[in-house]
Chains A and B, each alone.
Chain A
Amino acid sequence: QETSFDKGKKYILGGIEVTGVKGYNEQTVITYTGLRTGQEITVPGEQISEVISKLWGLNLFSDINVYKTKIEGNKIFLELNVTELPTLSDVKITGIKKKKIDDIEKDADLKKGKKVTESYISNTRNYLVNKYKKEGYLNTKVNINTIPDTSEVNAVKMVVGIDKGEKVKIKDISFNGNEKLSEKKLRSAMKNTKEKMVLRFWKKSKFIPEDFDADLVSIVDAYKEKGYRDARITRDSILYNDDSTIDIQIDLEEGDKYYFGEIDFVGNAAYTDEQLSRVLGLKKGDVYNGVLFDKRIADQTKPDGQDITNLYQNNGYLFSQINPVEVSAKNDTIDFEVRIIEGKLAYFENVTVTGNDKTNDHVIYRELRTKPGQLYSKDNVVRTIRELGQLGYFDPESIAPEILDPNPQNGTVGINYAVAEKGSSQIELQGGYGGGGFIGTLGLSFNNFSIRNIFNKEAYKPVPMGDGQRLSLRLQASRFFQTYSFSFVEPWMGGKKPVQFSTSINRTLQFRYNPRTGDADKDQRFVITGATVGLAKRLNWPDNYFQLSHALSFQHYDLQNYQTSLFNFPNGYSNNLAYTIALSRNNTSVNPIFPMAGSEFSISLKLTAPYSLFNNIDYANLGDDPDYQTVGPNNEIIPDAEKIDQEKYKWLEFYKVKFSGNWYTNLFAKLVMKTGMEFGFLGAYNQDRGVIPFERFFLGGDGLGNYTLDGRENIQLRGYPNQSLSGNDGSTVYNKFSLEMRYPITLKPTASIYALSFLEGGASYDNLESYNPFDLKRSAGLGVRIFMPAFGLLGIDFGYGFDPIPGQIEPSGWQTHFIIGQQF
């Protein structure tokens, strides 16, 4: 039965009166309510409660009441009574240094104009007390008073008195009742609560209650690892000393040592008891280790740990539950039952990506390792995140998977990958003086280009993007040289298979300086024109981290009145047509700028056709052929070096083998060890024709490719001057080993910075006969790398070379290397 009271009655609103306002205009409050005189209104009814909740939502009032003042016929008059919250007009903080005050006002949100409520005051107090406790000021007292500010309407001043007291350090941590584990061992089990010690500078002695509680758990865990299942802390007390230090006293009971008894598995159908025992790795008679046992069931510290939970999670059992239960404890033996509810196998339904506001779907979805209809696998989710990060379009640190609508009844699950786009274009524009004149450089590189939109005006925001193609363009010119290069890469040629197509064109012109005119002499020139086409295919065998690539490259050298050390002739030409095949594997994760785990290696072979097998030229005795002879200064017949060289280098003939491998190991926290090795060899098919002067290795220094006209490879070996470890002509064999420790300072998408220290050694030789892989030039040093998307990689390394460079006796000593643009 409804009463008339419940229903409310319809009235015409005759008027509203606002009472209790101090700082606000009555009219303003009425406008906020949205009510208008003359409108229809039901009292009591939804409209009134809407008004009240709307006003509460403003956070301006500490009390709101609506009264009915009078009723005339069908007209109703309302009174809106509010109590305004006072506003903060001024804050005064005492007890701390002046320059810290600003920070505190900001962090504690002590802003002028804030509404002062009780909770605001106590939040501020708690914030400050906790802040100083965390810094080790255990006895911090904060006192907050408010004083009405008469100069403004309804305002208060706030006086915050902070008394930090002395910094409290821990003088002594002592234990009672420990027999099986030493005090030293227990103290080291406490990760964050440490005694005061002069030499330990990386962790200060502080007492923070939350950390202390966590450390008490760690102590018990330390016992659990040794079989003392019943170990417990009976009492912990803190004693205050006079010299503002404290002593901590921990009383504990160790209990007895236990051993594992029977470990039974119940409810497992997908895996046999044997398979599960193997993953568990614990058997009857082993010393009880509760921590390890829990880890083997589900390792909370490693998402990809080798545990039973992951065994199920990686093979479709999303809904599996694994509960270890102690079923009996007889004497010193504990029997366990691992109760498993396997649940239905889960298959993916909707797989979605959000946050891509530049990159097109097709570029992303083809990279996913989790697809609709597939069996759920945690491994594949983790790998998808890693590979999306490596694409370079998204911030690798912020890719977040989100499980959607898990349905244990149907065995279905959805997943969404939330990504955040990051800048992937680099622009380089610079001008400067060098090499006797002005040098201008324009470099553009777009890592997420869309070539099909190149003629679409609307796509220029500021460049067509989103199809995952890479396009780069570089022009550099001065009076004496010009270089142009263009390259394009499509990672999925045709969109059907992950076959990467790449092509590049380049042209370099170099002119000699003419001392007479003081300008470039265009008649003395060296022109190099080249083009490359490559295909790279991801393989599924031996595993799907492998890539096989092919490339065909052509380089034409044209000299006119230009003597170089490369050739014995000033006029002539040379061609280099070569095929390269390479096999590489890369499973580094997650962030390509700072890999934390995994390895990368590649082996490649670059070769030309063996022309000398077919052309019937006897290179050893070319000098005896009248066509290759000339008349010497004393009118005798001598071999013509110019002609012989021209014949030898018409078409370059060589093969080159290279190997490189890098392993990344996460030691602890974010400290990463990079171990690397490299090897390279350049050979000739026909020893009479000889090893070409091109394509050689130059060891030493920063390894930056500043001068690569002759296809040379600069190999980094820090601690030695650039290219100092190879002769003028370069080396044909080299190897190198390195060990690097890296620690990130920040890995934000705007800038990634990490510090490193290294040990490395390498050697280069002119031929295989003198090759000795262990006669190394060694060095050590440290440095820093900064990666910013707009600039690429910048870095500086200080290296000390322990060995002398060839031709000297003193060690190479300290060298400074600037690293620019060279990737990783």
Chain B
Amino acid sequence: CSEYQKVLKDSDVKKKYDMAEKLYNEGDYKRAIRLFEQIVPQYVGKPQGERLIYFYANSYYQTGDYYLAAYQFERFSKSYPRSDKAEEAAFLGAKSQYLTSPRYSLDQTETDKAISKVQVFINTHPESEYMDEANEMAADLRAKKEKKAFEIAKQYNRISDYHASIKSFELFFKEFPGSVYKEDALYYDYLAKYNLAVNSIYSKREERIGQAKEAYTKLISEFSDTEYKNKAERMNADLDTELQEFKELLEKYEIQ
């Protein structure tokens, strides 16, 4: 039975404390965590607790268990707001939360938490050396939210639900006016309007062609050399032909 096992079962808190700190300094975080778990409750509120909880939180962070790291850093920040390590803990807590954020196509509850945590860090530590990284994280998280909304709106177009797609893009532009996906969003909004127009019933065709052409103008005026330029121009030509045909048809009926 190794010494570690002995200490683990020992009731002497001091022994555990020393060993945990030694393991922590050696980088053996997994084994240190098991000791920290046992002794942290006894040290809460005591002066040594400050070091201990920081080590404990950081051990979770180092082992990649970001959910628990975020929680423990939060606990540290609340218990010891005036600690020397406060800034670092706040940053690592925010970063842990950032790392728990899942890919854009899943529930973004953790991302929302991360956005607010990173923002709180940026607001409370404006002079921090971690500012660049914090800003990067914030941008990354926001982009994720934008991508989610963009992809959902785009999918409605893909499953031929053009109304839902157009409405979703309208909400997208309102919620994320300066999105990194703006160019793509403008194109897909145009595409949905185009699809709606060319598949439209007779009575609404003219109006919808008009709306599609508006979307085209918007895309070209905001992104004059967009990667979608060729496609967009071809579609616009289609719309012109459609409109022409529609007007001819209308005239024919009126003559009759």
Measured as residues with beta carbon below 8 angstroms from the partner, the interface class of chain A is 20 to 34
Docked pose: A680 CA to B151 CA in angstroms: 46
Complex contact A361–B163 (CB within 8 A): no
Complex contact A349–B158 (CB within 8 A): no
Complex contact B46–A36 (CB within 8 A): no
Complex contact A374–B163 (CB within 8 A): yes
Contacts of A255 in B (CB 8 A): none
Contacts of A362 in B (CB 8 A): 105, 151-152, 155
Complex contact B161–A371 (CB within 8 A): yes
CB distance from A391 to the nearest CB of B (A): 16
Complex contact A373–B102 (CB within 8 A): no
Complex contact A34–B171 (CB within 8 A): no
Which of A27, A355, A361 is within 8 Å of B105, CB to CB? A361
Complex contact B82–A496 (CB within 8 A): no
Contacts of A374 in B (CB 8 A): 163-164
Also in contact, A372 and B82, with CB within 8 A (given A27-B46, A466-B106, A496-B159): no
Complex contact A371–B82 (CB within 8 A): no
Interface residues of A in 321-378 (CB under 8 A from B): 348-350, 353-362, 365-366, 371-374
Q: B166 on the interface (CB 8 Å rule)?
A: yes
Docked pose: A51 CA to B133 CA in angstroms: 34
Q: Which residue of B lies closest to A371 (CB)?
A: B164
Docked pose: A497 CA to B155 CA in angstroms: 11
Also in contact, A495 and B158, with CB within 8 A (given A36-B82, A362-B105, A466-B105): yes
Contacts of A34 in B (CB 8 A): 80-82
Docked pose: A365 CA to B155 CA in angstroms: 8
Q: B156 on the interface (CB 8 Å rule)?
A: yes
Q: A240 on the interface (CB 8 Å rule)?
A: no
Complex contact A361–B151 (CB within 8 A): yes
Also in contact, A361 and B148, with CB within 8 A (given A28-B46, A31-B46, A354-B107): yes
Over the window 446-479 of chain A, the binary record of Cβ atoms lying under 8 Å from chain B Cβ atoms (1 yes, 0 no) is: 0000000000000000000010000000000000
Q: Which residue of A lies closest to B81 (CB)?
A: A34
Q: A32 on the interface (CB 8 Å rule)?
A: yes
Complex contact B107–A356 (CB within 8 A): yes
Also in contact, A354 and B109, with CB within 8 A (given A31-B45, A31-B46, A32-B45): yes
Complex contact B82–A361 (CB within 8 A): no
Q: B30 on the interface (CB 8 Å rule)?
A: no
Complex contact A371–B163 (CB within 8 A): yes
Contacts of A27 in B (CB 8 A): 45-47
Q: B168 on the interface (CB 8 Å rule)?
A: yes
Complex contact A372–B168 (CB within 8 A): yes
Complex contact B171–A358 (CB within 8 A): no
Interface residues of B in 83-115 (CB under 8 A from A): 102, 104-109
Q: Which residue of B lies closest to A348 (CB)?
A: B167
Complex contact A497–B159 (CB within 8 A): yes
Docked pose: A496 CA to B157 CA in angstroms: 9
Complex contact B171–A349 (CB within 8 A): yes
Also in contact, A31 and B152, with CB within 8 A (given A357-B107, A374-B164, A496-B159): no
Complex contact A373–B159 (CB within 8 A): no
Measured as residues with beta carbon below 8 angstroms from the partner, the interface class of chain B is 20 to 34
CB distance from B22 to the nearest CB of A (A): 25
Q: B200 on the interface (CB 8 Å rule)?
A: no
Over the window 575-603 of chain A, the binary record of Cβ atoms lying under 8 Å from chain B Cβ atoms (1 yes, 0 no) is: 00000000000000000000000000000
Docked pose: A463 CA to B171 CA in angstroms: 35
Q: Which residue of A lies closest to B164 (CB)?
A: A371
Contacts of B45 in A (CB 8 A): 27-28, 31-32
Complex contact A496–B158 (CB within 8 A): yes
CB distance from B5 to the nearest CB of A (A): 29
Q: B160 on the interface (CB 8 Å rule)?
A: yes
Contacts of B158 in A (CB 8 A): 495-496
Which of B81, B104, B148, B159 is within 8 Å of A366, CB to CB? B159
Docked pose: A348 CA to B81 CA in angstroms: 44
Over the window 35-49 of chain A, the binary record of Cβ atoms lying under 8 Å from chain B Cβ atoms (1 yes, 0 no) is: 010010000000000
Docked pose: A497 CA to B109 CA in angstroms: 30
Over the window 469-508 of chain A, the binary record of Cβ atoms lying under 8 Å from chain B Cβ atoms (1 yes, 0 no) is: 0000000000000000000000000011100000000000
Contacts of B148 in A (CB 8 A): 361
CB distance from B62 to the nearest CB of A (A): 20
Which of A39, A359, A365, A466 is within 8 Å of B152, CB to CB? A365
Complex contact A357–B106 (CB within 8 A): yes
Docked pose: A34 CA to B151 CA in angstroms: 47
Docked pose: A495 CA to B156 CA in angstroms: 11
Contacts of B171 in A (CB 8 A): 349-350, 372
Docked pose: A28 CA to B160 CA in angstroms: 65
Q: Which residue of A lies closest to B155 (CB)?
A: A362
Contacts of B156 in A (CB 8 A): 365, 371-372
Which of A36, A373, A495 is within 8 Å of B164, CB to CB? A373
Over the window 118-146 of chain B, the binary record of Cβ atoms lying under 8 Å from chain A Cβ atoms (1 yes, 0 no) is: 00000000000000000000000000000
Docked pose: A357 CA to B111 CA in angstroms: 12
Over the window 72-83 of chain B, the binary record of Cβ atoms lying under 8 Å from chain A Cβ atoms (1 yes, 0 no) is: 000000001110
Over the window 13-55 of chain A, the binary record of Cβ atoms lying under 8 Å from chain B Cβ atoms (1 yes, 0 no) is: 0000000000000011001101010010000000000000000
Q: Which residue of A lies closest to B108 (CB)?
A: A354
Docked pose: A170 CA to B166 CA in angstroms: 66
Docked pose: A359 CA to B80 CA in angstroms: 39
Complex contact B47–A373 (CB within 8 A): no
Docked pose: A355 CA to B167 CA in angstroms: 24
Complex contact B163–A373 (CB within 8 A): yes
Complex contact A373–B167 (CB within 8 A): yes
Contacts of A359 in B (CB 8 A): 106
Docked pose: A687 CA to B72 CA in angstroms: 80
Docked pose: A373 CA to B156 CA in angstroms: 12
Docked pose: A372 CA to B171 CA in angstroms: 9
Docked pose: A308 CA to B80 CA in angstroms: 60
Also in contact, A496 and B107, with CB within 8 A (given A366-B155, A373-B166): no
Docked pose: A356 CA to B104 CA in angstroms: 11
Contacts of A39 in B (CB 8 A): 82
CB distance from B104 to the nearest CB of A (A): 8
Contacts of A356 in B (CB 8 A): 106-107
Contacts of A371 in B (CB 8 A): 156, 161, 163-164, 167
CB distance from A464 to the nearest CB of B (A): 12
Contacts of B80 in A (CB 8 A): 34
Docked pose: A36 CA to B83 CA in angstroms: 11
Contacts of B163 in A (CB 8 A): 371, 373-374
Docked pose: A654 CA to B106 CA in angstroms: 49
CB distance from B70 to the nearest CB of A (A): 16
Complex contact B102–A357 (CB within 8 A): yes
Docked pose: A34 CA to B49 CA in angstroms: 13
CB distance from A748 to the nearest CB of B (A): 22
Contacts of A366 in B (CB 8 A): 155, 159
Docked pose: A750 CA to B132 CA in angstroms: 46
CB distance from B167 to the nearest CB of A (A): 3
Docked pose: A349 CA to B149 CA in angstroms: 13
Contacts of A360 in B (CB 8 A): 105-106
Docked pose: A371 CA to B168 CA in angstroms: 9
Contacts of B81 in A (CB 8 A): 34
Given contacts A348-B167, A362-B151, 16 further A-B contacts (CB under 8 A): A27-B47, A354-B109, A357-B102, A361-B104, A362-B105, A362-B155, A365-B156, A366-B155, A366-B159, A371-B164, A372-B171, A373-B163, A373-B168, A466-B105, A495-B158, A497-B159
- Which A residues are closer than 8 A to B by beta carbons? 27-28, 31-32, 34, 36, 39, 348-350, 353-362, 365-366, 371-374, 466, 495-497
24 residue pairs bridging A and B, Cβ less than 8 Å apart: A31-B45, A31-B47, A32-B45, A34-B82, A36-B82, A349-B171, A354-B107, A356-B106, A357-B102, A357-B106, A359-B106, A361-B104, A361-B105, A361-B151, A361-B152, A362-B105, A362-B155, A365-B152, A365-B155, A366-B155, A372-B168, A466-B105, A466-B106, A496-B159
- Which B residues are closer than 8 A to A by beta carbons? 45-47, 49, 80-82, 102, 104-109, 148, 151-152, 155-156, 158-161, 163-164, 166-168, 171
Cβ-closest 9 pairs across A and B = A373-B167, A371-B164, A372-B167, A360-B105, A28-B45, A361-B105, A31-B45, A373-B163, A372-B168
